[in-house]
């Protein structure tokens, strides 16, 4: 369901895929080849939410905030994750059920499943816990795995909203 909120209407690339059970409300910009999966909710009012090129918001994830929100190119917001008022860099994996609250997460980072992120983290950070702490740097193999997963998600998005 794609709908306006007050004077704001979503702007969704013709090359993006939004599942029919996802909800995209208001001042939301969805870039080329981005995908919004079943049950995801993306909501914005005056301050926009931007889902950049090749990014994915997976099943039942929730994205909104009082400030501008950005999901960087090639990043993945995993199943049931919550992203509130945050800026996510490029090639970031936000794990299943993670909660990211009004922070910045740098490029090529991983937020472990179930983590609660309440402070900023720079590039190449592997963070986990409640509250999340950086435990180490993300290595090149892990960055390539995030990119591979983003490509697979983009390829699989072609199956959303199709019959048979």
Q: Which domains does the chain have, with CATH numbers?
A: 2-159 (2.160.10.10)
Cα of 59 vs its chain's centroid, Å = 11
Record the tokens describing residue 120, joined without a space. Answer: 């900023």
pLDDT in the model for residue 164: 41
pLDDT in the model for residue 154: 92
In whole angstroms, what is the distance from residue 144 CA to residue 68 CA? 28
- Give the DSSP letter of residue 111: E
Beta carbons of 65 and 85 less than 8 angstroms apart: yes
Dmax of the chain from CA atoms? 45
pLDDT in the model for residue 1: 87
Closest CA relative to residue 75, chosen from 60, 59, 53: 53
If one counts every other C-beta atom within 10 angstroms of the C-beta of residue 157, the result is 19
pLDDT in the model for residue 162: 54
pLDDT in the model for residue 147: 96
Cα of 96 vs its chain's centroid, Å = 11
- Consecutive 10-residue averages of pLDDT for the chain (164 residues): 93 95 97 96 95 97 93 98 97 98 98 98 98 98 97 86 50
Beta carbons within 8 Å of 32's beta carbon, 6+ residues apart: 13, 15, 16, 53, 54
């Amino acid at each position: 369901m794609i709908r306006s909120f007050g004077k704001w209407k979503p702007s969704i690339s013709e090359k993006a895929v939004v599942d029919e059970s996802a909800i995209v409300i208001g001042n939301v910009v969805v870039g080329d080849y981005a995908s919004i999966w079943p049950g995801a909710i993306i909501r914005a009012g005056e301050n926009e939410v931007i889902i950049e090129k090749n990014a994915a918001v997976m099943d039942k994830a929730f994205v909104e905030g009082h400030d501008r929100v950005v999901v960087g190119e090639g990043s993945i917001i995993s199943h049931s994750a919550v992203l509130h008022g945050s800026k996510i860099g490029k090639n970031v994996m936000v794990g299943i059920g993670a909660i990211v609250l009004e922070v910045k997460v740098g490029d090529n980072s991983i937020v472990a499943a179930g983590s609660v992120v309440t402070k900023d983290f720079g590039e190449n950070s592997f963070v986990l816990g409640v509250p999340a702490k950086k435990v180490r740097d993300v290595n090149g193999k892990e960055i390539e795995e995030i990119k591979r997963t983003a490509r697979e998600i983009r390829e699989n998005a072609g199956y959303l909203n199709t019959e048979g």
